[in-house]
Amino acid sequence: MTLANDQRAQLEALYQEMAPANLTPLWESLADLVRPQPQSPAKVHRWSYDEVRDHLMRAGDLISAEQAERRVLILENPGLPGQSAIVPSLYAGLQLILPGEVAPSHRHTQSALRFVMEGDGAFTAVDGEKAIMRPFDLVLTPGWQWHDHGNPSSKPMIWLDGLDIPTVRHFDASFAEHLESSEHPETVPPGDTLARYGNNMRPVRGSVADRRPAHQPLFHYPYVDWRPALDAMAASAGIDPHLGHALEFLNPANGGPVMPTIAAHVRLLPAGFETRPRRTTDGTVFVVVEGSGTAVIEGQEIALHPRDIFIVPSWHALRLQAANTLVLFGYSDKAAQEKLNLYKEQNA
């Protein structure tokens, strides 16, 4: 905008006079507000699992899960300081639960996923049904479902929490409640819902609504199921040049993404494979499940090692290079963006 000097001076005087009335001129910020393409404030970043784990274990010596309610280190994007956000719409943290500990039952409008990084045999109980967790299992606690965690095993358990906290904050729609007792009473035996809904089947007749919310029945996607599915796909299908072999986790109630705001998927790249560049509007959080290689994100190279966590901000082109069989888990706000007709991708 080019303005004459006296015009600029008079406008500045006007801005000062209108500020106490809570008014600002759109023409000074229009270009920032309505951009020709996304310009994410989030930065490309990788957290080394071992480094986060060291800090988390030290926290484990200093504060109990019961005291903390949830003993979590937030993975804060360096471009979004103080916002508890890993990308603008999503949160990520690493949670530690030590042998014998209980993280008390609560529920909130935020939707959450857990992706197990380490340990074996701790549980998340969702509305009183335990999902016994093993490495690289995906467990959901959809919005407004009671959840507590416990670790009856003899080893620490660590998982990645992925939540839509910044999204719910954006909509100003956060509600939360605590259960009086720290553990929800057991409603059905562990694995009951997985048997009913996890095999592409559902009860012919059943009291779905009074056991599990009909819109969101399934909450456990075990590694022992999804990992062989990727291998089978890799053995028989042509490979997608942009994704490798990729499978999305589904909500069996509607065939859509796992939760209303969050989509999650896994992908496998065979040794030596390199993907073509692809950019999407859903900034994505990735976990390296297995293998090693390189992620090239808008030209920035990131070395990938097992259990590392890295992010690809919105509209950043990603290329993946697999040194050996590379398996990744990823989650993003694609589910929300598709509902809002915002999602776009470009495959080069």
Interface residues with ligand 1HN (CB under 6 A) are: 70, 72, 93, 95, 103, 108, 110, 112, 147, 149, 161, 163, 165
Closest separation in Å from C-beta 311 to ligand 1HN: 17
Nearer to ligand 1HN, 76 or 161 (CB): 161
Closest separation in Å from C-beta 112 to ligand 1HN: 6
Quick check: helix, strand or coil at residue 313? coil
Q: Report the distance separating Cα 15 and Cα 25, nearest Å.
A: 7
Nearer to ligand 1HN, 165 or 295 (CB): 165
Instruction: Name the DSSP letter for residue 61.
Output: H
Closest separation in Å from C-beta 114 to ligand 1HN: 7
**Backbone phi and psi for residue 165, each to the nearest 5 degrees, phi listed first:** -55, -50
Closest separation in Å from C-beta 2 to ligand 1HN: 47
Instruction: Name the DSSP letter for residue 108.
Output: E
Nearer to ligand 1HN, 150 or 293 (CB): 150
140, 112 contact by CB (below 8 A): yes
- What is the token pair recorded at 240? 């997608």
Nearer to ligand 1HN, 69 or 301 (CB): 69
Instruction: Collect all residues with Cβ–Cβ distance below 8 Å to 149 and sequence separation of at least 6.
Output: 65, 95, 97, 102, 103, 122, 123, 124, 125
CA nearest neighbour of 213 among 131, 260, 143, 139: 143
Closest separation in Å from C-beta 160 to ligand 1HN: 10
**Backbone phi and psi for residue 281, each to the nearest 5 degrees, phi listed first:** -85, -10
Nearer to ligand 1HN, 116 or 165 (CB): 165
Nearer to ligand 1HN, 85 or 311 (CB): 85
Closest separation in Å from C-beta 4 to ligand 1HN: 52
- What is the token pair recorded at 284? 């994505």
Q: Is 112 exposed, middle or buried (0-12, 13-18, 19+ CB in 10 A)?
A: buried
